[in-house]
Amino acid sequence: MFVVDPLAVELDAALEHYRANGWARVGRVFDAEHLEALRTRADALMLGQVLVPGLFFQHDSDSGRYEDLRYGEGYVGPSLDYRKLEKLERDALFRAHLENSLFERIARAVLGDAIAIYRATLFNKSARGSSPLPWHQDAGSYWGLDRDPELQIWTALDDCTSDSGCVRVVPGSHHRGLATPLGGLIPSELVEARHAEEHALELPANAGEVLLLHNHLWHASSANQSGRPRRAFTVCYLDAATRCLRRKRAPREFVRVFVRA
């Protein structure tokens, strides 16, 4: 799985940068064989060649506009144009990835010893093109939690370049907290008022590279115009004491990870 010894990776500088700036690079961690296995599995799931019960699918819009995304449709047939697959902790390959020993070290340093996951998600930007992802924060009352999570560990499965839609961030924006109590998409008037585009920093990443992202960090990504797939796998880890507050349905139970015997 690794190109480095996961127990020897020096994390202090990355964690300090993450706390100060809301993001950090851990470096290239995963080997080509592991990445190819994850890419192959991702494509097989989208094409219906591998079936994992309970996955969540969202197809990209036909127009390439984020505003035209359709919700609630789930799996709509074989396609490499899904923009998002969630609940990948149910897949054995992705579960092994998110429970690796390096991620355990990072999560314990940020969250302590009792850790669960909110979501394990593939973000896919198809080689045929994709919709952009506007400025947003991954927290707020929309998430329905008794406390906001703060740690996402993001892995590039392909080279993520400027023209393929790499992650863009506003460094330090997590210190302001939520832009709105609801969270999620940041209203355009706030994006303009805080000059997000002027302060934006692109974070290109080679396949196998790992980034840390704070949930309150303003982040976005552009459409894929490279003609190559751009796949990334991100896991939101949280304190296992976190509780779901939703009332219309039974509250969610979050999957514990890194459980010690």
CATH code for the domain in which residue 232 is found:
2.60.120.620
Note whether 87 and 53 are within 8 A (CB). no
Q: Return the number of other C-beta atoms located less than 10 Å from residue 199's C-beta.
A: 13
185 confidence band (pLDDT: 50, 70, 90)? very high
- The stretch 55-79 carries a mean pLDDT of 94
The Cα–Cα gap between 221 and 201 comes to 11
The per-residue DSSP string of the chain comes to -BSS-TTT---HHHHHHHHHHSEEEEEE-B-HHHHHHHHHHHHHHHTTSS--TT-EEEEPPSSS-GGG---S----SS-S-EEEEE-GGGSHHHHHHHT-HHHHHHHHHHH-S-EEEEEEEEEEE-TT----EEEEES-SGGG-BSS---EEEEEESS-B-TTTT-EEE-TTGGGG--SSTT-EEPPHHHHHHTTHHHH-EEE-B-TTEEEEE-TTS-EEEPPP-SSS-EEEEEEEEEETT--B---SSPPP-PEEES---
In this predicted model, what pLDDT tens digit does every residue of 126-156 receive, in sequence order?
999 899 999 999 999 999 999 999 999 999 9
Let me know if residue 85 belongs to a domain: no
pLDDT surpassing 80 at residue 261: no
* Higher pLDDT pick, 246 / 225: 225
As given in the structure block, the two tokens for residue 195 are 């000059």
Let me know if residue 7 belongs to a domain: no
Let me know if residue 120 belongs to a domain: yes
Let me know if residue 1 belongs to a domain: no
247 confidence band (pLDDT: 50, 70, 90)? confident
Let me know if residue 203 belongs to a domain: yes
Buried b (16+ CB within 10 A) or exposed e, 128-139: eebbebebbbbb
In this predicted model, what pLDDT tens digit does every residue of 77-99 receive, in sequence order?
999 999 999 999 999 999 999 99
As given in the structure block, the two tokens for residue 53 are 């019960």
In this predicted model, what pLDDT tens digit does every residue of 4-37 receive, in sequence order?
999 999 999 999 999 999 999 999 999 999 999 9
Q: How far is CA 235 from the centre of its chain?
A: 5
For position 249, what pLDDT does the model report? 85
For position 248, what pLDDT does the model report? 84
Note whether 43 and 61 are within 8 A (CB). no
Give the structural domain span for 128: 19-34+109-257
Buried b (16+ CB within 10 A) or exposed e, 206-235: ebbbbbbbbbbbbbbbbbbebeebbbbbbb
Let me know if residue 99 belongs to a domain: no
> Cα angle at 190 between 185 and 191, to 5 degrees?
70
Residue 193 has φ and ψ, to the nearest 5°, of: -65, -35
The Cα–Cα gap between 126 and 223 comes to 9
Q: Which strands sit side by side in the sheet containing 184-185, from one edge to the other?
A: 184-185, 133-137, 219-221, 167-169, 201-203
- The stretch 37-50 carries a mean pLDDT of 98
195 confidence band (pLDDT: 50, 70, 90)? very high
Let me know if residue 39 belongs to a domain: no
246 confidence band (pLDDT: 50, 70, 90)? confident
50 confidence band (pLDDT: 50, 70, 90)? very high
- For the chain, the domain total comes to 1
Let me know if residue 10 belongs to a domain: no
